[in-house]
Amino acid sequence: MHLELIENEPAVILHEEPRRVLVLADLHIGYERTLFKQEFYSTNLTLQIIQQIKQLVIKQKPTEIIILGDLKHSIQEFSKQELQQVAQLLFDLQHQANVTIVRGNHDADLELVIPDNTQIVSAAGFSLRFKSKQVYFLHGHAYPSADILSCDSLLMGHIHPAVSISKLKERVSIHPVWMKTKWNSTIIEALKSWLGEIHFQKEARTVNRLLQMNVLVIPAYHSLLRGHILNKGTLNASLDSPLFRHLSLEDAEIVMLDHTPLGTLKQLTE
């Protein structure tokens, strides 16, 4: 199985013939409604995002599409416009590939609009077996299931990873990025607490596999979401994720959407 970061797109393609799995996260359809309430513009950003995704699907020709949560933006309500836009996007995507949605913390009431043949899985995520590897898919705000213990890689969203870069004196730009890392050893006791000791009967093998797992945090697909600034000291306190605190942050490899490597997070912070 080969994992490819699609250049200049916050999306991943996993391919192993005959499968091509396109992975997106954090579309936040309807976000412009929040901007409008805050007295910002707006053109219809969602229509632009939907069109961009359609073009991406045409170009990549996936057999499966996985959305890692926060398909919509509103949490406590589901506006008529948001409902129509989510329904139309899923209807269009379902004609191109099988669609699976991992429930995010913004995804209440998605059952109202998803087509019958679109699958929605719980916030605990799910695993997918390829010939050579097993991959776990998760939004990131909830605990995973025990299936994560048998996986080689984890793909998650929720964090909206970004970095701030100083270009000129007192001028800072924010860039969405990919974050590639592994677990700290603290993940072992955390998973024992969440899943129970019974899943760690062959402890040495399980622990070794966990600590070797490749973790990829996917940037938000919505281009106007500012994201959580990774090279900022207050990051941990600002995130509602039971997993993020157990990632090896200092050694995390940071890559921009155009594939420019920025080194480790420790180097960026320094």
pLDDT band at 197 (very low <50, low <70, confident <90, very high): confident
Tens digit of pLDDT for each residue in 68-98? Answer: 988 886 666 666 777 788 888 888 898 899 9
Residue 212 domain boundaries: 2-269
pLDDT band at residue 181 using 50, 70 and 90 as cut-offs: very high
What are the C-alpha distances in Å from 137 to residues 39, 147, 213? 36, 10, 13
**Predicted pLDDT of residue 108:** 77
> How confident is the model over 166-178, as pLDDT tens digits?
766 666 788 999 9
**What average pLDDT does range 122-141 have in this prediction?**
94
Q: Give the count of beta carbons closer than 10 Å to the beta carbon of residue 257.
A: 17
For 152-175, what is the mean pLDDT? 84
Total domains in the chain come to 1
pLDDT at 218: 96
DSSP states of the chain as a string? -EEEEPTTSS-EEEEETTEEEEEE----BTHHHHHHHTT-----HHHHHHHHHHHHHHHH--SEEEE-S--BS-SS---HHHHHHHHHHHHHHHTTSEEEEE--TT-TTGGGTS-TT-EEE-TT-EEEE-SS-EEEEE-SSSPPPGGGGG-SEEEE-SS-EEEEEEEETTEEEEEEEEEEE-B-THHHHHHHHHH-GGGGTTHHHHHHHHHH-EEEEPPPSSTT---EETTSTTHHHH---TTGGGB--TT-EEEETT--EEEEHHHHH-
pTM for the model stands at 0.91
